[in-house]
Structure formats: structure tokens, C-alpha cells
Structure 1
Amino acid sequence: MTDFPMLKLAPEDGAISFARSFVKSDAFMQLFREGMGLVELTAGYLDGDGRAESAALAREVSLTYATESMRLTTRLMQIASWLLVQRAVAEGEMTAEQARTEKNKVRIAEPMLKPSSAEAARLPERLRDLIAHSIRLQERIRHLEDQMSEAAAPAAPANPVRGQLESLQARLGLIR
């Protein structure tokens, strides 16, 4: 498992900023290289060996191939977009606030339905491997995104009425 940097207090708002420290870490750069490498590897496969392999498939399997290769490409474009936005923040090309605005445009989608095991078994092995790798990478990024969102979320403001009620209860001896 990758070591994550220590969480740091953001001086401007006092909130814990996992995002700011993570996107500048070696762990993020490894993730970035893995994601962009997977994009390149997949593009090379789909434009090369994948074309030949898909042409050799039975008609009913070629539909599954087309569907899964489109899903794979979509998943990888979402991953690449997310990684590029995070790198832009790390390099100071974009503020964290701009990244949050972009987050609504560059959303890591919920995992897509997987083909049945019988359908998947008929797909070329390299395509299955690329799909599996992209799904694992997507899950890791979704987990990071959740952590980053939680760390960036402002703390709920204190309820002023609750403090008054507790003070009153203490004076009346209801709280010990």
C-alpha cells in the first residue's frame, strides 16, 4: 500500500488539507504515471493488436468487445482528466478552489456494469487485463477523491442554541 503524506493544516482556513499535501507527494506522482501509462498502453493496444484481435472475434463477441473498449476508454479519459486537474493544482497552475469547480465537470463515475463472466471470458486476454487494471485504478482514485472531499469539507458550524441549552441544563443540575 502507498504511504500517504501527513495531513497539514491549511493556514488560510484552518481546515485539514489532505488534497494540498497529497497532490505534491511522490505517491501522487506514482499514481499519475501509472494512470497516464495505462492510457498510453490502452491506446496502443486498441490501435494495434486490439484491432486484429477484435476482427477475429465471433460477431456476438465483437459487440461485447466494442462495448467494453468504449467503457474502458471512457473510464480512462475520466481518470486522465482527474489526474491532470490534480497535477495542475500541485504545480500551481490551478487553485484548489478552481479544482473543486472543475470537479463537477471531471467526475470519476460510479463503476460501470461489468460484462457477465461468460461474455468477459470470450474477450481477448489483453483487453480483460486492461479493463481490470483500469477498474482497480478507478476504485483507488474514487477512494482518494472521497478522502480529499472529506478533508476539504468545512466543519459544521457549532449550534449556538445547543451551547445555551447545555449551559442552562448545567445550571439546573441536569448535567453532571
Structure 2
Amino acid sequence: MSELGLNTVSFAGRAASSSQFKALYTEGMTLVEETASYLDGTGRAASKVLPRMASVLYAAESMRLTTRLMQMASWLLLQRAVNNGEMSRDQVISEKSKVRLDGFNVDRTAPGWLDLPEGFRELVERSLRLQNRIALLDREIYRPGEPSVVPDNENSVRAQLSLLRTAFAH
């Protein structure tokens, strides 16, 4: 490694151990709790009166939502463990291979999507935005040299703007 490489600062690495990470961690764990509470209470009651197509979609999407949230919570807990010195970076990398931060997209054009309760759709949307932010941070920390995948029909500036919109969306 060159002298220049020894002085390189990893902004993503610093961000992962900063107050921004603590806020991201809190946001993630709060979303897990909110979702569990919704699915056990309001969501359970709302799902019982949905039309058949929306009811099937609700069941499928609630499983995807809980899986997505558990994967994100796992990543956040691993990152917190490395930040607190409870695990080495190598241990986290080994465990992190079991965590999946992609592949949980939602088809908002699926029959019955608009019949789903608004509160449920909002939880899904929030989880997708959080997933994108965590996946981006993961790439920056653990795979900094790996280029982001950009579809052939999309230029890199548009892709970066999309990532920024996702990261700062409410």
C-alpha cells in the first residue's frame, strides 16, 4: 500500500460509527417495533376486511416486509457490534454474508396494491427507503471499490441522483 493509501479517510467508515449511524440504528429499530405493533394490532384488524386479492397481497407483502426489516436489523446490529468493539471487522464480514439487503422490491402495480391499508403501504415504503440507505452504506463500507450497478439505459449521474433522493426521502 502506498503512503497515500495510508492517509486515506473512509467517510463511510466514519459515518458508520458516528451519530448519523446512531440515528440510522434508532430509525431502523423503531421501524421494526412500529411494524410489529401495526401487524399485531391495526393491521390484523384491517387485513380481515380486505377484498380477496388485496388480502392475498397483504399476506405476501407482510412476509416480505418483516423479512426485509429483520435483514436490516441484523445488519444494524452487526455494525453496532463492530463499532462497540464486540466483534472484529472480519467476524462481521463473515456474519454479514448471511444478511441480504437487496431483492425485496415491491410491485406497486400489483392487483390489490391500492386496496391495502394506507398505514401498511407507508410502512412498506419507509422500509424500502431505509433498505436502500443501509445497502448504500454497506457498499461504501465493505465494498468501496465496487461500482454501483447502473442499468444500461441510465447514466451514472441519474443513478446518483436517484440514490440521493432515496437517502433523503421522507
Q: TM-score range by the shorter chain?
A: 0.7 to 0.9
1:66 matched to 2:63: no
Within-5 A mapping of 1:88-103: 88-103=81-96
TM-score normalised to structure 1 length = 0.73
Within-5 A mapping of 1:124-163: 124-151=117-144
Deviation at 1:117, TM superposition (A): 5.5
Query: Partners of 1:23 and 1:57 in 2: how far apart?
Result: 41
* Runs of at least 5 residues in structure 2 that lack an aligned partner in the other structure: 147-170
- Matched to 1:127, the amino acid is F
Candidates 8, 11, 21, aligned match of 1:28:
21
Deviation at 1:118, TM superposition (A): 4.7
* Runs of at least 5 residues in structure 1 that lack an aligned partner in the other structure: 1-12, 154-176
Candidates 29, 37, 42, aligned match of 2:35:
42
* Number of residue-to-residue matches in the alignment: 141
Deviation at 1:16, TM superposition (A): 4.8
- Matched to 1:60, the amino acid is M
Query: Partners of 2:31 and 2:47 in 1: how far apart?
Result: 20
TM-score normalised to structure 2 length = 0.76
Can you list the C-alpha shifts for 1:75-132, whole angstroms capped at 9, x where unaligned? 0001100000000011110111111111211121223242426521110000000000
Query: Partners of 1:131 and 1:143 in 2: how far apart?
Result: 18
Partner of 2:105: 112
Query: Partners of 2:133 and 2:17 in 1: how far apart?
Result: 17
1:87 matched to 2:53: no
Q: Indicate how the Cα distance of structure 1 residues 98 and 17 shifts in structure 2: closer, same or farther if over 3 A, else same.
A: farther
Deviation at 1:152, TM superposition (A): 7.7
Answer whether contact 2:46 2:117 (CA < 8 A) is retained. yes
Moved more, 116-125 or 35-44: 116-125
SS in 1 for 2:112: helix
- Matched to 2:85, the amino acid is G
Moved more, 119-128 or 20-29: 20-29
Greater Rg over alpha carbons, structure: 1
